[in-house]
Chains A and B, each alone.
Chain A
Amino acid sequence: MTLNMGIFCRCLLMAVVLCGSPVANAEDLLPADTDIVQIIDHYIRQHLVTVGVAAVEPADDLTLLRRTTLDLAGRVPTPVERVWFMSQPVPDRRRLLVERLMNLPDFDFHQRNWLDETLLPNQPYHDEFRTYLLTAVQGRRSWDTVFREIMKAGVSEGPEKGAGQFLRSRVRDLDDLTNDTAVLFFGVNISCAKCHDHPLVADWKQDHFYGMQAFFQRTYQTRKASSLAERPFGEVKFANVGGESKTAAFMFLTGEVVADRTPQLADEERKQLEERVRKLEHDDAEAEIFVPEFRPRDELVELALHETKQRFFARNIVNRLWARLLGTGLVSPPDQMHSGNAPSHPQLLEWLTSDMVSHGYDLRRLIQGIALSEAYGQSSEWTSGTEPPAASTFALAQTRPLTPRQLGASLHVVIRSPEQWPAIENTEEWMKRRMELENQADGWVREFEQPGENFQIAVDEALFFSNSGRVQDDLLRDSDDRLLGHLKKIEDPSQGVEQLWLAVLNRVPQSDELASATAWLSRFPDKKDESRKQLLWAILAGPEFRFNH
C-alpha cells in the first residue's frame, strides 16, 4: 500500500508541477474525492521539493503515542494504553490509535476545552459556556451549526443557554464584539482599520470595520434575564480621516452588503418601541423580549456561511485546526488572512477548505486527516548544527507547550500508580476516571498560563513548581495509590528508574540518564524515598514533560 501510494503521489506531483500555477484556483486542485491524508502528504511534499528542503525522519512510535494522545485526548497516555498500543500490528498502529482516541470521551472533553480557550480566551472557565460546548461536541454538531447557535443566541434555557456567552461577554464593548468575531471566526484582524483604512493591508478599509460593527451595533443584553436581544433600529456612524461623517452599511469582509430592511415606522410607533427596549435593557421588571423582523446578526451568519468568494469562515477553522495540531497555521498568524499574507500552501488550504464545506463542516474529519499525515508524524528533533527548516515547511514537527488543562490532566495521569488504571476494554470505568481527571485538571489550570503567540514560560511557574505546597504534598506524595508508592516496592534501582521514565516521559531512559538517575537515588543511602521524590520532581519540572514534542 505504501509503495502504491508513493507512486500515486509522485505522478500527481509531476502533473501539478507541469501545470505550474502558483495561485490556487479550483481547476488546479486535486480531485475532491482523493483521500484527505494523501492530499495533505502530497501538497506538503510538493512544497518541500519546491523549496529544496528534506523532511526529517518520522518520530518513533512511543513519541507519536504521546503526541497524538495529548492532541486528541488532552493528556498523556496511561500505562495500560501504552501496552495496548505497542501490541497492535506495526503498520496499523497509528490508524488504530487515532480511531481509538477519537472515540474516547477524552476527545470530546479536549475538543470542548480547545473551543473554550479559543473563543473565550480572556474569560475561561465559564460553566454555562463550557456545558454548551460539551453538549455540542458530544452531539457531533457541525461547526456551522455551532457558529449559528453562538451568533444567533437569544432567549434560551438548559444546556443551550451558554451559547450566548461569546456575545454576552463582549456585549458592553462593540469594538471587541466586532473584532473578536472577525478574528476568531473569520481569521482576520480588522482593528487597524478602525481609525483609518488599514495602513498595511490593502484589503481592509474603514468600511469593513464599521460594516462588521453594524451587524452587532443593535445587540444588547436584557437586564432581568441577561438574554441577548437586538434593537429594532440603530446605525453605526463614523468619521473618515477627512472628517467626513459616514453611515456604515451592513458589509461583510468580502465587501458584500446586506440591504437594510429595517421597517419604516411612524414616530409614535418608534417611540413606543424605543420605550420597550429601554425597559428591557435597563429595568428590573419582567418583560417579553421584542424580536425584530430584520436581525443583523442573523444576516451576518447567512452571509458568512454562503459567501463563496473567499470562504473566510471555512478557511479560518481549517487554518486554526492545522495550527493547533502542527504548531503553525498554513496562514500565520491565524488572524492575518489577507492578500498581503499568503498561505504557505495555497492549494492545500483551498482543497481543505472545499473539503470542509462539502463535508458539512465536520471538524473530526480534518482532525483525523491531519493526525494521520506524514507531517504530523515527523520527529521534532533537530540535532544538526545548521539552522532548522522554517516552521512553514512542516519538515520538522514543532515543539508545543501544553495548555494548562493538558498539563493539569497529564500531571494526574503520571503520578498515579500503574496498578490503578482500568483495563483497556473497561470503557465504563474509564469514563468515570476521565471525569475525575477533568475535575482534577480544573484545580490546576489557574497555576499555568494559556500559551499564545511567542509564548514564554513565566518565572511564577518555576517558583510554583519549586516551592508550592501543592506540588510537594500532592504531586510528590508516595502513598500506595501513587507512582512513587509503586516504585518504593521495586528493589532493583535500574528497573525503578525505567518505570519512572516510562510513566512520566513515556519512553525508556537512555544509558546516561539511567546512570545519572541511579547515582542520584543512591547519593544518600538512608534517604532513598526522599531522593526518589526529588527525581520525580526533576523530570516533572523538566522541558520534556512540559511540552508536546
Chain B
Amino acid sequence: MSRISSSGICIPAHHAVSRRSFLSDGALRAAGAVTVAGCFASDMGQIHALRSEEVASELRKQDKRVILLWLAGGASQFETWDPKPGAKTGGPFRAIQTNATGVHISELLPELAQRMQHTAIIRSLNTKIADHGGGADLMETGRLKDPGILYPDLGAVVARELGRLESRVPDYVSLYTSTEGRRKGTSGFLGARYAPMFLSESMIPPNIARLEAVSEIDHHDRAALRDALGRRFAAARRSHTVDSQNSAYQRVNGLMASAELFDITQEPAEVQARYGPTQFGHQCLIARRLIEAGVPFVKVARAWWDSHGQNFETHQELCADLDHSMSVLLDDLEQRGLLKNTLVITLGEFGRTPQINSSLGRDHFASAWSCTLSGLGIRGGVAYGKTDPEGHTVVEGEASAADLFATILSALGIDHKQEYTVGARPVPLADFGSKPIAEVLS
C-alpha cells in the first residue's frame, strides 16, 4: 500500500498552497463542506443488504481477496482434477499421486500436484447448462438468468462486500485478452460503481495515464477546481446519482497511481522469470500485484479450452500453462503471507464430455465436472464429491452453481443468505436454497 501512496501524483506542498488562490473564496469552500462528508453516500442507495454496517466494515478491514482463474471455453475434468485412467472415457493420460494422501490428479498438472495442501477439489458439479453463453451466465453469477433483473457476477458481489469505498485502487479488475468467448462481466443491479475495470486490448487499463498535453500541475489543479465549482450544485441536491459523480472523480487519482500495478517490469527480474514467458503467467503476476495492493477481486481469464477437436493436445499445452502459472502464484502468495487472506478459484462455464468424439475432442458437458478452491477459508488436500467410474454422472456430493457460490462466500466469511432488496424483490447473495459445502471449508 505504501508504495502506491508514495507514487501518487505528488506535488511539493508550497506549490499546492500558492496555486490555491483560485479556491480562496469563502463561499466555495464553505459550500464544499457539506458534500465532502456525503459523497460516499451513494453506497447506501436503494440496494439494501440486510446486515449491519458494523459487520460489513469489520469484514472490509480483514483485507480478504479473490483471484478467479477463469478457464474459458470449459476445461476437461478428465485431463485436470478428476482423471479416470484406464476407463473407456479416460483418454491417454495417467493420474499421479499428489502430496495429499489419496488424492490423484492428471499427470498434466505435476507442479500443482505438489501443492495440494492449499487446495480443495470439487468433483461433483452438476450445473446442467452446456452452452457457452448460458453456462457462463450461470457460473459467473451462480444463478439462472432471469428476465427483468440483471444479476451481478461474483466479482461485483465481492467488490461490494469487501471493497472499501474510499479505496485508491480498483475493486474489480478483469483481464481477458483473448478474442474467443470474451465477456466483460457485469455488476448488474449493483450499478456501475462495482463494474469491472476490464482489460481486453492491452495489459494496461484505458485512460489510466495522464496525457502529455496536460501538465501534471494542470491535471491535479483542474480536478480541484472542478470539485470546488461543483460543490454548491451538489450540496443543493440530495441525490445519490449526483454524489456518485463526485465519488467517481475522487477515485481518479488513486486509480491513475495504481497504473504501475499493471506494469510487471517493476518486479525484480527473478520474479518475472519465475512466472515465465506466457501471457497468462504475466497476468497472474499482475493479479498478485493487484491483490497485494488491496484490490479485492481479480479475474484472469485463460482461453480457449473449448477442445471439440484434439482435446488431448490442447490440454497438454493449456494445462502446462495453468500448472506452472498457478503454482508460482500460490507459492508467491504464500511467501508474501497473502495466501491466508486470498482465495484462488479455478472455474469455467462447464467441463467436457466423457465421450471422445471422432475428432479426438471432447464436447460441452455440465453434468459432472470439477473446479478448485485454494487458500483462504479452504481445507486443503481434499477431493470432495465423486463421479462414476467413467465420469458420466455425479454419484456423491452433488453440488449446483448456487452451492459453489455459497461455498465461496462462506470461505470469505460472507453470509451467503443475506439479501439485497431490488425494488420489492429479495435477492440472496447465493441463490435460494443453496448450501455451502462444509467439507471443503476450514
Residues of A within 8 A of B (CB): 173, 175-176, 178-180, 183, 189, 191-192, 194, 200-201, 333, 335-336, 340-341, 380-383, 387-388, 398-399, 401, 449, 451, 453-464, 466-469, 472-473, 510, 512-513, 515-517, 519-520, 523, 530-531, 534-535, 537-539, 541-544, 546-547, 549
User: How near does chain B come to A510, taking the closest CB pair, in angstroms?
Assistant: 8
Q: 1/0 per residue B224-262: CB within 8 Å of A?
A: 011011100111111111101110110110011000000
B213 neighbours in A (Cβ, 8 Å): 472-473
Q: Do the beta carbons of B148 and A388 come within 8 Å of each other?
A: no
* Bound Cα distance A204, B189 (Å): 23
User: How near does chain A come to B215, taking the closest CB pair, in angstroms?
Assistant: 8
Q: Do the beta carbons of B256 and A547 come within 8 Å of each other?
A: no
Cβ contact of A472, chosen from B23, B206, B211, cutoff 8 A: B211
Judge whether B222 is part of the interface by a CB distance below 8 angstroms: yes
Q: 1/0 per residue B248-285: CB within 8 Å of A?
A: 11011001100000000000000000000000000000
Q: Do the beta carbons of B236 and A383 come within 8 Å of each other?
A: yes
Q: Do the beta carbons of B222 and A516 come within 8 Å of each other?
A: no
- Given A191-B149, A388-B238, A534-B222, A512 contacting B27 (CB threshold 8 A): yes
- The closest CB in chain B to the CB of A452 belongs to B191
B210 neighbours in A (Cβ, 8 Å): 466-467
B23 neighbours in A (Cβ, 8 Å): 516
- The closest CB in chain A to the CB of B21 belongs to A519
* Bound Cα distance A340, B211 (Å): 54
B206 neighbours in A (Cβ, 8 Å): 463
Cβ contact of A541, chosen from B192, B239, B249, cutoff 8 A: B249
* Bound Cα distance A187, B21 (Å): 53
Cβ contact of B147, chosen from A180, A399, A467, cutoff 8 A: A180
B225 neighbours in A (Cβ, 8 Å): 516, 520, 534-535, 538
- The closest CB in chain A to the CB of B245 belongs to A457
Q: Do the beta carbons of B251 and A333 come within 8 Å of each other?
A: no
- The closest CB in chain B to the CB of A541 belongs to B226
Query: Which of B42-50, B83-91, B367-375 is the interface stretch?
Result: B42-50
Q: Do the beta carbons of B423 and A333 come within 8 Å of each other?
A: yes
- Given A336-B423, A543-B245, A399 contacting B239 (CB threshold 8 A): yes
**Which 8 pairs show the lowest CB-CB distances between chains A and B?**
A458-B192, A179-B147, A191-B148, A456-B244, A462-B248, A542-B230, A512-B27, A534-B222
Judge whether B36 is part of the interface by a CB distance below 8 angstroms: no
- Given A336-B423, A399-B237, A466 contacting B229 (CB threshold 8 A): no
B25 neighbours in A (Cβ, 8 Å): 512, 515-516
Q: Do the beta carbons of A191 and B230 come within 8 Å of each other?
A: no
User: How near does chain A come to B426, taking the closest CB pair, in angstroms?
Assistant: 9
A520 neighbours in B (Cβ, 8 Å): 22, 225
Q: Do the beta carbons of A457 and B237 come within 8 Å of each other?
A: no
* Bound Cα distance A340, B425 (Å): 13
* Bound Cα distance A335, B423 (Å): 10
A-B contact pairs, 22 of them (CB 8 A): A179-B148, A192-B148, A194-B147, A335-B148, A336-B424, A381-B237, A387-B238, A398-B239, A399-B239, A455-B192, A456-B240, A459-B251, A461-B248, A462-B245, A510-B27, A512-B27, A516-B24, A516-B225, A519-B24, A534-B214, A534-B225, A543-B233
B56 neighbours in A (Cβ, 8 Å): none
Which chain B residues numbered 1 to 42 have a C-beta less than 8 Å away from chain A?
Answer: 19, 21-28, 42
Cβ contact of B207, chosen from A340, A467, A535, A547, cutoff 8 A: A467
* Bound Cα distance A369, B209 (Å): 48
Q: Do the beta carbons of A472 and B214 come within 8 Å of each other?
A: yes
Cβ contact of B21, chosen from A173, A383, A467, A523, cutoff 8 A: A523
- The closest CB in chain B to the CB of A469 belongs to B211
Q: Do the beta carbons of B221 and A534 come within 8 Å of each other?
A: yes
Judge whether B195 is part of the interface by a CB distance below 8 angstroms: yes
B246 neighbours in A (Cβ, 8 Å): 543
Q: Do the beta carbons of A534 and B192 come within 8 Å of each other?
A: no
Q: Do the beta carbons of B229 and A456 come within 8 Å of each other?
A: no
- The closest CB in chain B to the CB of A539 belongs to B229
Q: Do the beta carbons of A463 and B207 come within 8 Å of each other?
A: yes
* Bound Cα distance A57, B337 (Å): 60
Cβ contact of B148, chosen from A189, A200, A457, cutoff 8 A: A189
* Bound Cα distance A543, B237 (Å): 10
User: How near does chain A come to B143, taking the closest CB pair, in angstroms?
Assistant: 12
* Bound Cα distance A535, B222 (Å): 7
* Bound Cα distance A505, B233 (Å): 12
Known: A382-B236, A530-B218, A537-B226. 4 other contacts (CB 8 A): A178-B147, A336-B424, A456-B45, A534-B214
Q: Do the beta carbons of A454 and B221 come within 8 Å of each other?
A: no
Q: Do the beta carbons of B42 and A462 come within 8 Å of each other?
A: no
B244 neighbours in A (Cβ, 8 Å): 455-457
- Given A466-B207, A472-B214, A538 contacting B255 (CB threshold 8 A): no
B245 neighbours in A (Cβ, 8 Å): 457, 461-462, 543, 546
Residues of B within 8 A of A (CB): 19, 21-28, 42, 45-47, 146-149, 170, 189, 191-193, 195, 197, 205-211, 213-215, 218-219, 221-223, 225-226, 228-230, 233-242, 244-246, 248-249, 251-252, 255-256, 423-425
- Given A382-B238, A457-B245, A523-B22, A538 contacting B226 (CB threshold 8 A): yes
Cβ contact of B248, chosen from A200, A457, A513, A542, cutoff 8 A: A457
A516 neighbours in B (Cβ, 8 Å): 22-25, 28, 225, 228-229
User: How near does chain B come to A406, taking the closest CB pair, in angstroms?
Assistant: 14
A399 neighbours in B (Cβ, 8 Å): 237, 239, 241-242
* Bound Cα distance A468, B47 (Å): 32
- Given A399-B237, A523-B22, A543-B245, A459 contacting B252 (CB threshold 8 A): yes
Pick the most buried of B25, B215, B238: most chain A CB atoms within 10 A of its CB: B25
- Given A180-B147, A530-B218, A542-B233, A466 contacting B223 (CB threshold 8 A): yes
- The closest CB in chain B to the CB of A380 belongs to B237
Q: Do the beta carbons of A537 and B222 come within 8 Å of each other?
A: yes
- The closest CB in chain A to the CB of B198 belongs to A460
* Bound Cα distance A381, B34 (Å): 14
Q: Do the beta carbons of B148 and A459 come within 8 Å of each other?
A: no
- The closest CB in chain B to the CB of A189 belongs to B148
* Bound Cα distance A455, B193 (Å): 9
A458 neighbours in B (Cβ, 8 Å): 192-193, 195, 248
* Bound Cα distance A537, B249 (Å): 13
- Given A456-B192, A466-B219, A543 contacting B208 (CB threshold 8 A): no
Cβ contact of B229, chosen from A380, A387, A462, A542, cutoff 8 A: A542
Pick the most buried of A192, A455, A463: most chain B CB atoms within 10 A of its CB: A463
User: How near does chain B come to A225, taking the closest CB pair, in angstroms?
Assistant: 25
* Bound Cα distance A191, B222 (Å): 47
B221 neighbours in A (Cβ, 8 Å): 534
User: How near does chain A come to B155, taking the closest CB pair, in angstroms?
Assistant: 15
* Bound Cα distance A531, B222 (Å): 9
User: How near does chain A come to B173, taking the closest CB pair, in angstroms?
Assistant: 12
User: How near does chain A come to B24, taking the closest CB pair, in angstroms?
Assistant: 7
Q: Do the beta carbons of A534 and B28 come within 8 Å of each other?
A: no
* Bound Cα distance A388, B238 (Å): 8
A401 neighbours in B (Cβ, 8 Å): 241
Q: Do the beta carbons of B226 and A459 come within 8 Å of each other?
A: no
User: How near does chain A come to B285, taking the closest CB pair, in angstroms?
Assistant: 23
* Bound Cα distance A403, B75 (Å): 41
Q: Do the beta carbons of B211 and A456 come within 8 Å of each other?
A: no
* Bound Cα distance A512, B31 (Å): 11
* Bound Cα distance A460, B21 (Å): 30
User: How near does chain B come to A449, taking the closest CB pair, in angstroms?
Assistant: 6
B222 neighbours in A (Cβ, 8 Å): 534-535, 537-538
Pick the most buried of A333, A510, A541: most chain B CB atoms within 10 A of its CB: A541
User: How near does chain A come to B380, taking the closest CB pair, in angstroms?
Assistant: 36
User: How near does chain A come to B123, taking the closest CB pair, in angstroms?
Assistant: 29
- The closest CB in chain B to the CB of A341 belongs to B424
- Given A454-B46, A467-B256, A538-B222, A543 contacting B22 (CB threshold 8 A): no
Q: Do the beta carbons of B242 and A547 come within 8 Å of each other?
A: yes
Q: Do the beta carbons of B147 and A191 come within 8 Å of each other?
A: yes
* Bound Cα distance A539, B226 (Å): 6
Q: Do the beta carbons of B211 and A467 come within 8 Å of each other?
A: yes
